[in-house]
Amino acid sequence: MDAGSGSVRPRGGVDYPRTVQEFQAWFPDDAACLAYLERLRWANGFSCPGCAGTEYWAAKDGRRVCRACQRRTSVTAGTIFHRVRSPLTMWFMAAWLITSQKNGMSAQSLQRVLGLGSYETAWAWLHKFRRAMVREGRDRLSGLVEVDETFVDGVSAGSAGAAGRACVMVAVEKPGPGRTLGRIRLGLADRPGTVGLVAFAQNSVERGSTIHTDGARVMRRLGDLGYTHEYPRDPHAPEHEAVLPGVHLVGSLLKRWLTGTLHYGVAGHHLPYYLDEFTFRFNRRAADHRGLLFYRLLQQAVHTDPRPLAEILDPDHNPYWNFS
């Protein structure tokens, strides 16, 4: 294995397992899992999380001690695996199952397959991995991009709240005639038709790109923000699906995924993280091996802060809500 090789494109069978047989051979115990995480986290060599020092000595308990500041750290410290009680082999199997299934897994299915003690444990594991599915500082979309809103039904205000609708902001790259859609970005809006959609476009699309929208007036300010803004000027313009086909298709696939995989069992304050999962899967749908998704998920997991259960359950701790 060469998970930390730094190659431009990870290679199946070298950087990640391609089949379940390879997966089982690569990760027979926690020691193998730790070695893989070490290659991913310190691909360019050890870096102390306290002082960024690069020299260390190995302690008897397996942790590394920075020679500069004497700080002790382990490969799992400060990651989503920080202080987990279950064996890492189980966490790796969960990551493999989540990414090897084309449409993902529900918490109930994960609990059953792994034999976890409770539904709540499986649910928490899934949400920890969802926090790692979007990388901070990722590249913005570019070229020709469609931006608009769609609505998702069956989203509750809480675990016991009545089901309602949520407004989801969508940005989709359009590579050109005869080619499939490019990358996407999704976000949750406070309410539809506000300036928040403009802020979402700025956060999601590189300046200098061409943005297609419908005729909403609020979006016309994009032309003054460094974008080429194109929209229907004819009051008798075609239907929305014809004007923004990429947004319409992504919206339809998102709703189908929520229905088929999660059965619309989504609380409103958790919806942004389900949107992250859908984005993660959609943007990697052409991967040659599902193992590449496993690699990317763990690669991002070792650079994602721990997410205590209390934080995951807290509806007020949601950095995605405010785009206005």
Minimum mean pLDDT among 12-21, 131-140, 209-218: which range? 131-140
Minimum mean pLDDT among 159-168, 225-234, 298-307: which range? 159-168
What confidence tens digit (pLDDT) does each residue in 232-266 have? Answer: 876 665 666 678 999 999 999 999 998 877 665 67
| pLDDT classification of 163: cutoffs 50, 70, 90 | low
Q: How far is CA 48 from the centre of its chain?
A: 26
pTM beyond cutoff 0.85? yes
What confidence tens digit (pLDDT) does each residue in 30-56 have? Answer: 999 999 999 999 999 999 999 999 999
- Domain ranges in the chain are 23-131, 144-270
pLDDT at 239: 63
Looking up tokens 């299934």, which residue turns up? Answer: 101
pLDDT at 322: 35
Alpha-carbon dihedral sign for residues 191, 195, 197, 200: negative
Degrees, nearest 5: CA angle 120-267-204: 115
Residue 6 predicted with pLDDT over 60? no
Distance between terminal CA atoms of the chain?
46
Question: Which runs of E-coded beta strand occur in 13-107?
Answer: 56-58, 64-66, 72-73
Q: How many angstroms separate the CA atoms of 204 and 200, rounded?
A: 6
Determine phi and psi for 295, rounding to 5 degrees: -60, -50
Which CATH superfamily hosts domain 144-270? Ribonuclease H-like superfamily/Ribonuclease H (3.30.420.10)
Assigned token pair, 284: 């990697």
| pLDDT classification of 320: cutoffs 50, 70, 90 | very low
Q: How many angstroms separate the CA atoms of 204 and 184, rounded?
A: 9
Longest Cα–Cα distance in the chain: 74
Assigned token pair, 306: 């721990």
3-class DSSP state of 45: coil
Q: How many angstroms separate the CA atoms of 274 and 191, rounded?
A: 18
